[in-house]
Amino acid sequence: MKSSVALIVLEEIGSRKRASLTLPRRGSKFARLGKAQLPATALILGLAAPSNAQVIPSTTEQLSAPWNAQRVFEPSTLPDLADPETRNEIQPEDMPVRKRQQPGYEPVGIRAGSWMFSPKLMSGALYDSNVFSSNTTKRSDIAAVVEPSLRAHTLWERHGLDLKLDAQSTIYNENSSLDQTNARLRGNGWFDIAHDLAVLANVQIAHLNEGVGTLSSPVNAISPTPYDLFSGDLTVRKEFNRLTTSVGMRVDSYDFGQTRAQDGSIINQDGRDGQIYSLHSRVDYAFSPVLGWFAGVEGNQRNIRGTPAQTLDSQGYRALSGFTVGFGNLLSGEFGAGYAQQRFDAASIGTIEGPAYRAMLTWRPTRMLDVHFKAEQIVTQTSDTSSTGVLANAFQLGVDYELRRNVIVSLAGGYENDRFFGQQRKDKVTTSDARIKYLMNRYGSISVFHRYTDRNSDSPAFSFDKHQVGINVTAQF
């Protein structure tokens, strides 16, 4: 589980709630990426996102096929088994509330031959009541955030490329040690060998920062920890009627810099440098349009530098299997259980292992309201390059409400219980998130948000609470 470093996240271009498991065919809507009504193009793009105080990120995003093949532990949607020639178009009101694109509010884009370019600029302001995530030294501050991005994707009938270049600068008013700039180039592509066989690939090159207060950040750090990341994944996906299989490999390479402590000393993080090699495979079988079975397994070899006294090299795996359900637009989700193990070469760390489960449900009582629920237990580390083991149980509940066609209200809350291996420490984390997004037109939007985090730990040095309130203005074309 990647908790405070590279996470794969998805960008959906008007993805349907019940995307077909069928691979893109000649002339299919999947291949025509430029159209706003594109039904099932969930693109996996590498992105480093801090999990703040949580081991399990608070997200309810779902991946549509075929891109769940590279995220084997993320839920997939059941296939639409109807004849593609007679299948009805998915209307905007039948898509998830946060993903639907109402007519008149979709971005325009700039077309150049067989490429479509989509520039975007987000700027905003943020108030943080506890910028250092500290239990003793609580300081509040305001920050300016600027995030330009440029996405380019192909409009080819077969195959495809999707590229995104973006940066994010955060500048604090009083605590300049917290200033940070992230920059990344992400690429995603697919190659159709046949109508039921495809090769999927993604790559990321990035300079990122691990925020103060994340679980793997040094406790007494007063500035973010910078690191460079290279990651790539290559997967082959094959369909056999109702059975879909995939197998792939991934590499993540980390190069950490240094951060600064409260007393002004330098905290060197070179011991977290290294590479992680992974093999993964997933199988999905659709019994019917409302019930399916899945199984996913991933093995890894982690070569982490560590210290002269202790290596952080380890080997491990995670396996999960269960059922996918979907009752039209009313209820959909996935239930799974399995086991995870990470065996460290250092005898002082030993083996971290245990059972794991996950349940994710989306209930749509009306077309204007989505209710999301997630329950998960994992045995993992605070980050891929850390030696701290955690048994985490998390429960999350969220709602998305379409107040008007151009006004979306989102509320979410979560509770997590973390038990740490190798130390007498138990943490309880409570979070809440409230957001309102107003779409002015197809060229701009405004959103306001409030986030609250409360970590209550047996070790007082790790306890803190904070409020974050912000406003963002986005311009796009």
Query: Domains in the chain: how many in total?
Result: 1
Domain annotation covers residue 399 = yes
CA nearest 22: which of 232, 224, 286, 349? Answer: 286
- Sign of the alpha-carbon torsion through 100, 103, 106, 109: positive
Domain annotation covers residue 16 = no
Tens-digit pLDDT profile for residues 369-399: 999 999 999 888 777 777 777 889 999 999 9
Domain annotation covers residue 59 = no
Instruction: For residue 227, give the H/E element and its range.
Output: strand 225-240
Three-state SS at 272 = helix
Tens-digit pLDDT profile for residues 176-207: 999 999 999 999 999 999 989 999 999 999 99
Tens-digit pLDDT profile for residues 89-148: 667 777 888 888 888 888 899 999 999 999 999 999 999 999 999 888 889 999 999 999
pTM, full prediction: 0.82
Instruction: Give residue 471's pLDDT.
Output: 97
Average pLDDT of every residue of the chain: 84
Reported confidence tier of residue 150, pLDDT bands at 50, 70, 90: very high
HSE at residue 233, side-chain half, CA atoms within 13 A, is 31
- Chain-centroid distance of CA 335 in Å reads 19
Domain annotation covers residue 408 = yes
Q: What is the DSSP string of 18-82?
A: T---PPP-TT-TTT-TT-TT--S-EEEEEE----TT-SS------PPTTGGGSSTTS--PPP--S
Domain annotation covers residue 79 = no
Domain annotation covers residue 6 = no
Give the CATH number for residue 381: 2.40.160
For residue 204, the cross-strand partners are 186, 231
For residue 475, the cross-strand partners are 121, 444
Domain annotation covers residue 72 = no
Domain annotation covers residue 100 = no
Contact 140, 130 (CB under 8 A): yes
Tens-digit pLDDT profile for residues 66-94: 777 888 888 888 877 766 666 666 677 77
Instruction: Give residue 177's pLDDT.
Output: 92
pLDDT at 30 over 60: no
Reported confidence tier of residue 33, pLDDT bands at 50, 70, 90: very low
Which residue range(s) make up the domain with 234?
Answer: 110-476
